[in-house]
Amino acid sequence: MVLCKNVFKEFNNGTTFIAVNNVSFHVKAGEFVAIMGKSGSGKSTLLNLIGLIDKPTSGSIFIDGIASSDMNESQLAGIRLEKIGYVFQSFYLDHNYSVYKNVEIPLLIANTPSHKCRERVEICLEQVGMLDKLHSKAGTLSGGEKQRVCIARALANNPSLLLADEPCGSLDSENTEVIMEIFQSLNQKGITIIMVTHDIEEGKKANRIITMKDGKI
Amino acid sequence: MKIRNYFKFAGQEIRVSLSLFIFYMIIFILLLSASVTFLDSALFLPDKIASTMQKMKTDNIIIFIEETSKLQELAKSIPMKLYECKVGGYEFDPERLGLSSNEASKESNSSIAFSGGVLLKDYQINNQVALFISGNIISGEFAPNVPNSKGALPTWISGTMADAFGIDCQDELQLIVSGKNSVPLYVQGLYTSNTAFSDYYIPEEAYSLFNVNNADSKLQITVSPLRFRDIYSLLNRLQKSDIPCLYSEQTVRSTQMMYAAFYISTIILLVALSGILLHLLNLYYNRRATYFALCSAVGMTHGDVLKILFCISEIIIIATTVFSSALSYFALYKIEAYINKLFLLQNEQTKFPFISLILNIILLQLCILFVIKKVSKTIKGNNINELLRCEG
C-alpha cells in the first residue's frame, strides 16, 4: 500500500534541519500502523510526505505502487482525492459551514452527483455516529464531535488509506476512546490506517508501531 | 471539477464572506456605473453637442484652396458638406459682372450690398449651394456646365439682385477678369434670395478663367464634416497638405478635450476597478487560506482554486453589472436632461447604454483574467502544509 524508500526531508530556514532522515518502510494494505515518537522527531512530517501534501527532498514514496516523484501537481491532487483520507489534529472544519457542507467538500471536488453526495455524506456520518448533527454548524460542535466529522470527511471519497495526525491530541480520554474505536472499526473494514501519535495507549491499538527519533526510524 | 461545482463553491464562499463582498461590490457598482456613464458620454454626447454646433455653424472650417481637385480628394475619405464658396482677396460685387450701382438705384431704391460666389462643378461633397439653387429656382433652370449657343457660361442670380438690377433669364453678362478682359456669361436661372447664400454664383469654369489672369486668387470654401469627430482628421489632413484654413479653434479643442476626458476617465476607472478586484481577491484568499489549504489537502488543485476565484469574480461582476446598468442609466438620463437644457435641445428618451455596458464588460473580463493571473502567482507559491501549520 505505502512504500517509503530512503526518504529525506530537509527544512531550510537559514539553517538546515533534517526532519526525516533516510527513512524506509513498507505498510501493507489493511494494516493499522502507529508512528510514534517525541515532539520534533519528524513523525508528522513523514505523515505529510506519505499524504502527498509535502514533497521529500530526496527518496521515493510509492502509493499503491505509483511513485509520487513521477507525478505532477494535478496527479498528486488526484491521488489525495481518490486514495487518501486525512484526519488532522486541528480538524480544519469550516465553522461557517454545516456538518453536511464540511463533509461534502471532497465529494464536490470529485464531481459526485448531488443525490449520491447526500447519500455518501449520510453514510460517512453514520459510520462516526454523527448523522443527527447533519445540519448543525461545525462551530457549535464539541472537540470530539469535530474530530468525528473530520473522520467522516476523510472517508467521504471511500479512500483505501487513512492518515491521522495526532487525531486525539486535543481530545479528552472519553473522546479518545470513541475515536480509536472508530479507527479500529474502519481498519476491520479493510482501510489501511497510518496514525501519528505520542500516546503509548493509542499506539497499542495499532497492529504495528514505528518509532521515530531525530528523523530516523 | 465540473463548472457547476466551481460556482457552488464560489456561491458558498460569497455567502461565508458576504459583508466583505457586499462592501467591495458597492465600490464596484459606483466605479462601473461611472465608467459606463463616461464611456457612453464619450461615444454619444459629443455627437449630440456637435449637432447643435453644426446648426450654429460653429464647426465650420473655411479652407483656402486653389485646386478644387484637392478638396474632392479630401471629400472622398471624409464626407462633408460644402456651405459656401467665395473668391478670396477679390471683391465679387455686382460690378464684377459689369453691373454698376447706378443701374441698381434706377430700378429700385435698394441699398443692399450684393456679393457673389462660385459654384463648384462637382457635387460629391454635398454641395449645399447647388442643392439650394436647384431647389429654389424662380425662373429659368439649373443646368450647370451648359453654355449657351454663343458659348457664354451659365450664371445664377438671386431674385432680389435680379429685381435690383432688372435682370432676367438669358440676359448676357460679362465677368470682368482684369483690365479690359472678360468672360461671357448668361443668366441661366433666378433663385429665391437667402441670407445664408451669395446673391449670384458664377460657374467654376468662369472662376478658372478669372484665376488665370489673377494668379493670387484662392477659393474660400466653407465646409463641415458630416460626422463631427471627423473634424480632427480633416484638420490634420489639411495641415499635412499645407492647405491653410480657418476654424473655431476654441470650440474644436474644447470638444476634443471632452472626448479625451471621457475616454481617459473610463480607462482610469477600469484600472482602479481591476486594482480593487485584485486587492479583494488577495484579501479574501488570505482570509480563507486555511480553507483552501484543506481543500488542496483533500484533492483540489491550484487550478481549481483559481477557477473558484474566477467564478467569485464573475458572480460579483454580474451582480455589479445589473446594479450599475440601472445606476448609469439614471446618471445618463440626468446628464442628457442637463445637456438638452443647456443647448436648448428637445428632450428625447434616454437610450439604455448597451454598447458602453458591453464594452465595459469585455474590458472587465480582460481585467479579471489579468487579476487571476496575478493571484495565481500567490497561490502557486503557497505550500499546503505551511498554510495548515500556520492555522494549527
> How many other β-carbons are positioned within 10 Å of the β-carbon of residue B276?
15
Give residue B108's pLDDT.
55
Q: State the pLDDT at residue B65.
A: 84
Q: Identify the pLDDT of residue B179.
A: 65
Whole-angstrom Cα distance, residue B360 to residue B1?
30
Chain A interface mutation, best of B1, B298, B300, B380, highest count of A Cβ atoms under 10 Å: B298
Identity (one letter) of the amino acid at B285? Y
From chain B, the residues in CB contact with A77 under 8 A are 296, 299-301, 304
What percentage of residues in chain B have a pLDDT greater than 70? 92
Interface test with B, best of A39, A55, A90 (most B CBs within 10 A): A90
Query: Looking at residue B207, what is its pLDDT?
Result: 86
Chain A residues 65-104 with CB within 8 Å of chain B: 73-74, 77-78, 80-82, 86, 88-90, 92, 94, 96-97, 101
Distance from CA of A145 to the nearest CA of B (A): 18
Q: Which residue of B has its CA nearest to A77?
A: B299
User: Which of B208, B202, B221 shows the shortest CA–CA distance to B84?
Assistant: B221
What dihedral angle (degrees, nearest 10) is formed by the CA atoms of B205, B206, B208, B212? Answer: 140
Set of chain B residues whose Cβ sits within 8 Å of the Cβ of A108: 1, 5, 8-9
Q: How far is A39 from chain B (nearest CA, A)?
A: 15
| A47 — pLDDT class (breaks 50, 70, 90) | very high
Summarised one tens digit per residue, pLDDT across range A117-175 is: 999 999 999 989 999 999 999 999 998 999 999 999 999 999 999 999 988 888 888 88
Q: Is the confidence at residue B388, as pLDDT, over 60?
A: yes
Return the CATH superfamily for domain A1-83+160-217. P-loop containing nucleotide triphosphate hydrolases (3.40.50.300)
DSSP-derived secondary structure for A118-180: HHHHHHHHHHTT-GGGTTSBGGGS-HHHHHHHHHHHHHTT--SEEEEESTTTTS-HHHHHHHH
SS3 for chain B, per residue? CCHHHHHHHHHHHHHHCHHHHHHHHHHHHHHHHHHHHHHHHHHHHHHHHHHHHHHHCCCCEEEEECCHHHHHHHHHHCCEEEEEEEEECCCCCHHHHCCCHHHHHHHCCCCCCCCEEEECCCCCCCEHHHHHHHHCEEEECCCCCCCCCCCCEEEEEEHHHHHHHCCCCCCEEEEECCCCCEEEEEEEEEECCCCCCCCEEEEHHHHHHHHHHCCCCEEEEEEEECCCCHHHHHHHHHHHCCCCEEECHHHHHHHHHHHHHHHHHHHHHHHHHHHHHHHHHHHHHHHCHHHHHHHHHCCCCHHHHHHHHHHHHHHHHHHHHHHHHHHHHHHHHHHHHHHHHHCCCCCCCCCCCHHHHHHHHHHHHHHHHHHHHHHHHHHHHCCHHHHHHHHC
pLDDT at B350: 79
Whether the pLDDT of residue B226 is over 90: the answer is: no
| pLDDT (mean) for A180-207 | 90
Give the pLDDT mean for B93-118: 73
Out of B16, B297, B392, the one facing A53 most closely (by C-beta) is B297
What is the ipTM score, two decimals? 0.90
pLDDT at B390 over 60: yes
Ranking A10-14, A190-194, B170-174 by mean pLDDT, the lowest is A10-14
- Chain A residues with CB under 8 Å of B9 CB are 108
Average pLDDT of B86-102? 81
Nearest-Cα residue of chain B relative to residue A106: B298
> Which residue pairs from B13-17 have beta carbons closer than 8 angstroms and sit at least 24 positions apart in sequence?
B13/B284, B13/B288, B13/B308, B13/B312, B14/B312, B14/B315, B14/B316, B16/A94, B16/A96, B16/A97, B16/B288, B17/B284, B17/B287, B17/B288
Torsional sign, CA B292, B293, B296, B297: negative
**Domains of chain B, residue spans:** 3-54+255-391, 60-247
CB contact under 8 A, A77 and B296: yes
Mean pLDDT of B306-329: 92
Q: Residue B177: what pLDDT?
A: 81
**Per-residue pLDDT reduced to its tens digit, A13-34:** 888 888 899 999 999 999 999 9
pLDDT tens column, B10-61: 999 999 889 999 999 999 999 999 999 988 888 877 777 777 776 776 778 8
For residue range B262-296, list pLDDT tens digits in order.
889 988 988 898 899 889 988 898 888 888 889 99
Mean pLDDT, all residues of chain B: 85
Q: Which of A52, A94, A118, A196 to mutate to test the interface with B (most CBs of B within 10 A)?
A: A94
Top pLDDT among A55 and B90 is at: A55
pLDDT at residue A196, as a whole number: 93
Is the pLDDT score of B304 beyond 50?
yes
Rounded to a whole number, what is the distance in Å from the CA of A90 to chain B's nearest CA? 6
Kindly state the average pLDDT of the residues A178-190. 91
Contact A77 B8 (CB under 8 A): no
Check pLDDT > 90 for residue B188.
yes
Question: Which residue type does B379 have?
Answer: I
Higher pLDDT, B42 or B180: B42
B317 CA to chain A: closest CA distance, Å? 24
A56 touches chain B (CB under 8 A): no
Range name among A129-138, B75-84, B197-206, B312-321 with the lowest pLDDT average: B75-84
Question: DSSP string spanning A175-191?
Answer: HHHHHHHHHHHHHHTT-
Give the nearest partner residue to B299 out of A89, A97, A109, using CB atoms.
A109
Indicate if the pLDDT at residue B77 is higher than 90: no
Task: Say if residues A95 and A75 touch (Cβ distance below 8 Å).
Answer: no
In this predicted structure, what is the pLDDT of residue B386? 75
What φ, ψ does residue B381 adopt, rounded to 5°? -75, -10
CA distance A97 to B291: 11
**C-beta atoms of B300 and A157 within 8 A:** no
Q: Does the distance separating the beta carbons of A53 and B384 come in below 8 Å?
A: yes
Say whether A109 and B291 touch across the interface (CB within 8 A): no
User: Span A61-90, mean pLDDT?
Assistant: 89
Q: What is the pLDDT of residue B392?
A: 42
Sheet of strand A84-87, all strands in order from the earlier edge strand to the far edge: A84-87, A161-165, A192-197, A32-37, A208-212
Domain ranges for chain A: 1-83+160-217, 92-158
Q: Taking all residues of chain A, what is their mean pLDDT, rounded to a whole number? A: 90
